[in-house]
Structure 1
Amino acid sequence: MKNQQPKVAIQGIRASFHEEAAFRYFGTDIQTVECGSFKQTFEALKNKEADYVVMAIENNIAGSILPNYSLLMSYNFPIVGEVYLPIQLHFLTLPGVKFEDIKTVISHPIALRQCIDFMDEYPHIKVVESSDTAACAKRVHEEQLTDTAAIANSLAARIYELEVKERRIESNKKNFTRFLIFTSHENAKQVKANKASLCFQVSNEVGALAKVLNVLAEQEINMSKIQSMPVLGKRNEYNFYLDVEWNQPSQYDTAVRQILNYTKNFNILGEYERYMEDVVNGS
Structure 2
Amino acid sequence: MQLKVAIQGIKGSFHEEAAYKYFGEQIETVECESFKKTCELLKQGKVNYIVMAIENSIAGSLLPNYNLLRDYRFPIVGEVYLHIKLHLMALPGVTLQDIRFVESHPIALQQCNDFLEENPQFQVTEGEDTAGSAKKVSEQQLKDTAAIAPQLAAKLYGLEILERRIETNKKNYTRFLILSTQSEEKAKVNKASLSFQTGNGVGSLSTVLQCFAEQQINLTKIQSMPVLGKRNEYDFYVDVEWKNQADYDAAIRRVLKHTSNFSIMGEYIKNEKV
Instruction: Tell whether the structures are fold-level matches, with TM greater than 0.5.
Output: yes
Inter-partner Cα distance in structure 2 for 1:47 and 1:82: 23
Matched residue, 1:50:
47
Given residue 104 of structure 1, which amino acid in structure 2 is its aligned partner?
F
Provide the secondary structure at the position in 2 that maps to 1:262.
coil
- Which of 13, 17, 21 is 2:18 aligned to? 21
* Corresponding position: 1:156 with 2:143: no
Matched residue, 1:268:
264
Inter-partner Cα distance in structure 1 for 2:219 and 2:51: 23
Matched residue, 2:80:
83
Given residue 126 of structure 2, which amino acid in structure 1 is its aligned partner?
E
Q: Which TM-score applies when normalising by structure 2?
A: 0.98
* Corresponding position: 1:215 with 2:211: yes
Inter-partner Cα distance in structure 2 for 1:62 and 1:255: 31
Structure 2 unaligned residues grouped into runs of 5+? none
Matched residue, 1:136:
133
Provide the secondary structure at the position in 2 that maps to 1:217.
helix
Inter-partner Cα distance in structure 1 for 2:74 and 2:126: 33
Given residue 134 of structure 2, which amino acid in structure 1 is its aligned partner?
A
Given residue 30 of structure 1, which amino acid in structure 2 is its aligned partner?
I
Runs of 4+ in 1 over 4 A off after TM superposition: none
CA drift of 1:256 comes to 0.7
Inter-partner Cα distance in structure 2 for 1:98 and 1:251: 58
Inter-partner Cα distance in structure 2 for 1:214 and 1:208: 10
* Corresponding position: 1:172 with 2:169: yes
- Which of 220, 223, 228 is 1:227 aligned to? 223
CA drift of 1:146 comes to 0.3
Given residue 140 of structure 1, which amino acid in structure 2 is its aligned partner?
V
Inter-partner Cα distance in structure 2 for 1:246 and 1:48: 33
Given residue 180 of structure 1, which amino acid in structure 2 is its aligned partner?
L
* Corresponding position: 1:248 with 2:269: no
Inter-partner Cα distance in structure 2 for 1:149 and 1:231: 44
Provide the secondary structure at the position in 1 that maps to 2:257.
helix
* Corresponding position: 1:189 with 2:205: no
Inter-partner Cα distance in structure 1 for 2:267 and 2:38: 21
Structure 1 unaligned residues grouped into runs of 5+? none
RMSD over aligned Cα atoms: 0.7
Matched residue, 1:121:
118
Matched residue, 1:61:
58
* Aligned-pair identity (%): 61
Provide the secondary structure at the position in 1 that maps to 2:239.
strand
CA drift of 1:98 comes to 1.7
CA drift of 1:121 comes to 1.1
Given residue 196 of structure 1, which amino acid in structure 2 is its aligned partner?
A
Matched residue, 2:7:
10
Inter-partner Cα distance in structure 2 for 1:151 and 1:231: 38
Inter-partner Cα distance in structure 1 for 2:179 and 2:132: 24
Inter-partner Cα distance in structure 2 for 1:33 and 1:55: 13
* CA deviation vs aligned residue, 1:206-235 (integer Å, no higher than 9, x gap): 010011111001110000101111111111
Q: Which TM-score applies when normalising by structure 1?
A: 0.95
Given residue 34 of structure 2, which amino acid in structure 1 is its aligned partner?
S
Aligned length: 273
